[in-house]
Structure 1
């Protein structure tokens, strides 16, 4: 019989959407300041600001990126949707590290056979090794 597994979730850090919104405001201000009557510069700055603000809106509307419980894992899909991965569908959970030009990038990979779900440190606001360990323990406890 499977053990009781406490539900857990990981979300985007609060500071991230705030920083994106501040960046969008800075882009608008720079566009207005340096456009010098050039409509193309102004439109490009506003377009970049709109993209950044949309990205921040996603973080505010749907901050939780990953959750786990006794039945499996739920991952964010699209703007605010979810995809449920029952434990039998999860083939592997691992942290991939790649070093390029002296910088190391870490990615949490959840391999569900037909799909691969990738998360970075700023998607989950937690060390990826710890998240992977929690997922592995939950999977083992579920049987």
Structure 2
């Protein structure tokens, strides 16, 4: 790191989110057992949905940090729980995409690295995407500056 560089900062999923996903998976299994009434198809579907939800929750526990930044660049999550380092010269754009549907507005942070596009929602970052985009832009300016 440069002597003038900004301290590293990271954004992670809210701590309650993986717990909620794992509890919901258990509830799905319980509901499947309760309402299946001997129907194996319903039980299997409930089990598959619970397994998917549990896998999603485990990912949040294994790799809670979705995005990190320092003066040299950003580190993003890739795949199930991998990491990818993007130096500032590889980052072509940092923007927030806003979409309104049925009266609800969703914001997504986009980090465009040319060959790859990395998307982060509010629950990936535990912060408003616009706020994170500003922090990334400031770190980029300090790092390349």
TM range (shorter): over 0.9
Give, in angstroms, the shift of residue 72 of structure 1. Answer: 0.3
C-alpha contact (below 8 Å) 1:98/1:106 kept by paired residues: yes
- The TM-score normalised by the length of structure 2 is 0.95
Pairs aligned (count): 143
1:30 corresponding residue in structure 2: 31
Listed as ranges, the gaps of 5+ residues in structure 1 are none
- The TM-score normalised by the length of structure 1 is 0.97
Matched residues in 2 for 1:2 and 1:109: separation? 29
Listed as ranges, the gaps of 5+ residues in structure 2 are none
Structure 1 residues 94 and 2, CA gap change in structure 2 (3 angstroms): farther
2:6 corresponding residue in structure 1: 5
Give, in angstroms, the shift of residue 2 of structure 1. Answer: 7.5
Match runs of 1:1-143 below 5 Å: 3-143=4-144
C-alpha contact (below 8 Å) 1:92/1:110 kept by paired residues: yes
RMSD (CA atoms): 1.1
Matched residues in 2 for 1:120 and 1:87: separation? 21
Could you list the structure 1 runs, at least 4 aligned residues long, displaced by more than 3 angstroms after superposition.
Answer: none
Matched residues in 2 for 1:25 and 1:131: separation? 33
Per-residue CA deviations over 1:99-128 (Å, capped at 9, x if unaligned) read 112111100000111111100000000111
